[in-house]
Copies of this chain bind each other. A is one copy, B any other.
Amino acid sequence: MLERIRIVLVEPSHPGNIGGAARAMKTMGLSQLVVVNPKRFPDPQADWRAASALDVLDAAQVLPDVDAAIADCHWVVGTSTRLRKIPWPVADAKDIAAHVAAQLAAQDDRTRIAILFGREDNGLSNDELRRCNYHLQIPAAPAYSSLNLAMAVQVVCYEIYQASLSEPAVTPWDRTLATSGQVNAMLQAMEQTLTDTHFLDAANPGQTMTRLRRLFSRQQMDETEVQILRGIIKHMGQVK
């Protein structure tokens, strides 16, 4: 079950953190590591910190951007310490872990979950955070709340492993969940049509698309729902 969870490190600077994250994952039963545009990787420091998790490190995928890392995922979580201008659904590590475990138990074997961890110095960008269904915050001391990157991976994986040990309540769904890529493509078509039909001002679009993105990220959409919305968007483009 835990092999359906992907840990995504976005533009890490220090290879030691990539190795540390791999070890943290393996101690908690996770194995799918994706590294987006790393500064230095592979690197001997990553190997050293991985200790006996070299297999996780060696199997890590290196990808050029976040979209490539999450396109086929059905639920995407972004770790974040800042509060956003437009608030997104937020939960702590424990609640996210419980939800992850429940989803993996409920859905079919193809369900993929991605958890994004941002850069050591300034986390995930606003644009990356808007790609996420949920934001995750690790409870930490207000005086110094900045966990090391690999430590944050350890805490989140620890909670996921603990949640996976208990039997979550299973609520089966009647449709296949939409992937992040499908939802994103639908939102892009929506933005295009809303601009073409002059609902949005191309020169000054404001926050409307962010708010729509948040609306459709809050619940996980299934493929039928995405198809219905795409039908409506297409229809709207034709009747302008």
Residues of chain A having any CB pair with chain B under 8 Å: 20, 23-24, 26-29, 49, 51-53, 94, 138-141, 143-148, 150-151, 154-155, 158, 161-162, 165
Using CB atoms, name the residue of chain B closest to A26: B144
Q: Which residues of B contact A141 (CB under 8 A)?
A: 26-29, 161
Given contacts A26-B141, A158-B138, contact A151 B20 (CB under 8 A): yes
Given contacts A146-B51, A146-B52, contact A139 B161 (CB under 8 A): yes
Given contacts A150-B151, A151-B151, contact A165 B144 (CB under 8 A): no
In angstroms, Cα B155 to Cα A140, docked, is: 12
In angstroms, Cα B49 to Cα A147, docked, is: 11
A225 CB to closest chain B CB (Å) equals: 36
In angstroms, Cα B141 to Cα A16, docked, is: 22
Q: Which residues of B contact A155 (CB under 8 A)?
A: 154-155, 158
Using CB atoms, name the residue of chain B closest to A158: B155
Question: Contact: B144 with A52, CB < 8 Å?
Answer: yes
Name the 4 nearest CB pairs between A and B, nearest first. Answer: A29-B141, A151-B154, A27-B140, A26-B144
A138 CB to closest chain B CB (Å) equals: 7
Using CB atoms, name the residue of chain B closest to A139: B162
Q: Which residues of B contact A147 (CB under 8 A)?
A: 23-24, 27, 154
Question: Contact: B23 with A143, CB < 8 Å?
Answer: no
5 contacts between A and B (CB under 8 A): A24-B151, A27-B140, A27-B145, A51-B148, A52-B146
Q: Which residues of B contact A51 (CB under 8 A)?
A: 146, 148
A199 CB to closest chain B CB (Å) equals: 45
In angstroms, Cα B141 to Cα A122, docked, is: 31
Q: Which residues of B contact A28 (CB under 8 A)?
A: 140-141
A148 CB to closest chain B CB (Å) equals: 6
